[in-house]
Amino acid sequence: MKILLAEDDRVSRLLMQRILERFGYEVILAEDGRQAVEILSRTDAPRLALVDWMMPELDGIALCREVRGRQQDGHYVYLLLLTSKQNSEDIVAGLEAGADDYITKPCQPAELRARLHTGRRILSLEEKLIEAREEMRFRATRDALTVLWNRASILAMLRSELERSSRERKSVSILLCDLDHFKHVNDNHGHLIGDMVLQEVATRLTASVRGYDAVGRYGGEEFLIVLGNCDHSDLEARSEEIRNAIASTPIQTGGAALCVSISIGAVTCGEAEAAIPIERILARADAAMYRAKAEGRNRTAFADPFVIA
């Protein structure tokens, strides 16, 4: 594990470096407080820092304050102050400035190792908490079966794109896609095969859009695609690419190759339409999708332009 050693005295720095390397740390050196702050501001910064209290440029207290002031959503840095001060008021000042712990000079290697080990335990706990938070966030925003954005998340993204469309005077298009005859898949092959089909369709839809577009499971066998910066002139080609991504190749389910297609209802919203309630926009896409089904399925139907009063 990497550790930052900030110490301006060359002899002390060399002795402490040897001790830390003997403990198994990869030591990153800083000769003053300002250099230490710059190192700790990097994306690959050490998570542990052993900082001398008295240094040029920035002393240990000022360093702690600046590191804590810069630290927002990044990983936590465990700061251990190395000091010859014994006064409790000084120690309290260091801890209140953002230091996690302190050790007095001259320090005993065994005590230093133990205090650093405490820091590592705290950092390990933080990593587990971050992982748990991210897992909860993932579960709250993703559909469990397809791993696409869930209904609430894709609708939130649509709202965001409509707001951006209004600000930047650009168009946004949406595609409401429904799997054709999906009930027959479940009835004839079982729900496990139906789940496999939904997962493969989700994979193909994601692969057929740009990185900044969004694909979500709208419900059941329906999918909602939000295409940012896509006007009506681009929409026909884009929707055809997406439709063809599903229909062109049968889906291999282990026991059978299933030919699957989607019917698409397409709507484009420009700057003027961005203020229309999202329910009206979705209703227009839904009506177009049912028209695509009525016209024979495996096709795109484009909604009529909105009439802005």
Q: What is the pLDDT of residues 12-26, one digit of tens each?
A: 889 999 999 999 999
Among positive and negative, which fits the CA dihedral 246, 154, 287, 190? positive
The whole model's pTM is what? 0.71
CB 80 within 8 A of CB 51: yes
Which sequence positions are flagged as catalytic? 221
The token pair at 77 is 């840095």
CATH number of the domain within which 49 lies: 3.40.50.2300
Q: Which domain holds residue 7?
A: 2-140
Q: What is the pLDDT of residues 117-152, one digit of tens each?
A: 999 999 999 889 889 988 999 999 999 999 999 999
Among positive and negative, which fits the CA dihedral 272, 277, 283, 285? positive
Beta bridge partners of 49: 4, 79
Residue with structure tokens 């979705």? 282
Residue 88 in domain: yes
Q: Indicate the residue among 91, 110, 140 that finishes a domain.
A: 140
pLDDT band at 73 (very low <50, low <70, confident <90, very high): low
Classify residue 108 by its DSSP letter: P
Across 115-139, b (16+ Cβ under 10 Å) vs e yields bbeebeebbeeeeeeeeeeeeeeee
Classify residue 254 by its DSSP letter: S
* 199 shares a domain with 76: no
Q: How many domains are there within the chain?
A: 2
* 166 shares a domain with 295: yes
For residue 61, the model assigns a pLDDT of 87
pLDDT band at 83 (very low <50, low <70, confident <90, very high): confident
